[in-house]
Amino acid sequence: MYKWMHHGLMCYQTAQAQECSEQSRCRELAKASTFYRTVYSEIEEVGWEHLVRFAGDLTSLSFRVLDSKGRVHVMEIQLDKTHPTCPPSISADVPYLFNLIWSANSRLKDVVQQFTKHLEKLQTFWSTVDDIDRSLWVVDPKQASPAVSYRQVIIGNDCCIVFSINATDPRSLPECRFIGPGQIVNLLRNRWRRNSKRWIKDKQFLENLECLLETQLPRSPDVEKNDQQVECGICYAKSLPVDDELRDKSGTGTDYTCDNTSCKRAFHSICLMDWLRSITTTRQSFDVLFGSCPYCSEPVAVKINTVKK
């Protein structure tokens, strides 16, 4: 009798434990289901066309945002499973991030909107570094990310100057460091200190710089400028490989450029054609593919090339 009662009690306890475990699992599934529905709904509000990539559990998302000058930016968002109770963490290739304003009623579209406004605040900074890249002989970094706020520039006589641009006040007098022979560097450093009050925010960077250093500075060689323009934005090569299948395209350089004046990215038409074919939103009319530029999302149209098999 005792053994029977003990066995019955054990079975009851096991059943209770299984029931609790099942209830716990159901609650977890319900939470997960609610999380997925919420995130899918919020992605829909932002627009699926702006979603670059996402993790399988939707805790990591990347959105592409185009600023007013046509620059493409990618913002990484990390979500907590309790979303939207806890604010997400964000990262992006920018000189500094904004302070996210978040509440329990906030949604992903609010993050994207705040990021877009932040990008507009950074336009003057990017215009300033673009001015430096365009007008001076920049040697480091040649292909800078949007987050980099320094430039190393050749100023002649085996000398360089490293500028550190203030991202929050980019038109102000930058911090600088001279590199080169001591006697020449000392002369330039003294001129910089003596003339620093002559820096005028409304002037172009080059004009200010030559005024302070009291000398004309060398420009970047045309060869270097051209080299930066001919790399394909998809395969990152200047020329296609030498291949019999490519026929007349074998070994050729880039032959297509985005029409957006703020982008002007160069491509091999074959590379762009293959990329467009991999995108579900691409349309075809007769022998032309219509889609969006991989960098600025502006419309592109490429004639189908049949040389590749």
pLDDT at 187: 92
How many other CB atoms are found less than 10 A from the CB of residue 83? 21
pLDDT along the chain (309 residues), means of 10: 53 53 51 82 89 87 86 90 92 94 94 96 93 88 83 89 95 94 91 94 91 86 52 82 72 82 83 86 83 85 64
- The SS3 call for residue 178 is strand
**Residues written for the chain:** 309
Asked, for residue 126, whether it belongs to a domain, the answer is no
Residue-range definition of the domain harbouring residue 146: 136-222
What phi and psi values does residue 285 have, to the nearest 5 degrees?
Answer: -130, 115
Same domain, 211 and 295: no
pLDDT at 13: 53
Domain boundary among the residues 74, 94, 121 is at 121
Q: Judging by DSSP bridges, how do beta strands 72-78 and 256-257 pair with one another?
A: unpaired
Q: Is the pTM of this model over 0.85?
A: no
d(CA 256, CA 52): 24
Residue carrying the six token digits 């007098």 = 173
What phi and psi values does residue 178 have, to the nearest 5 degrees?
Answer: -95, 140
pLDDT at 224: 46
d(CA 127, CA 66): 16
Same domain, 107 and 75: yes
Beta strands in the chain, from DSSP E residues, in sequence order: 51-54, 60-66, 72-78, 89-92, 138-140, 150-156, 159-164, 175-179, 256-257, 266-267, 283-285, 288-292, 299-303
d(CA 51, CA 298): 16
Same domain, 153 and 243: no
**61, β-bridge pairs:** 54, 77
Helix (H) or strand (E) holding 9: helix 2-46
Same domain, 185 and 285: no
Asked, for residue 244, whether it belongs to a domain, the answer is yes
For the chain, what is the domain count? Answer: 3
How many other CB atoms are found less than 10 A from the CB of residue 54? 15
Residue type, 17: A
pLDDT at 308: 42
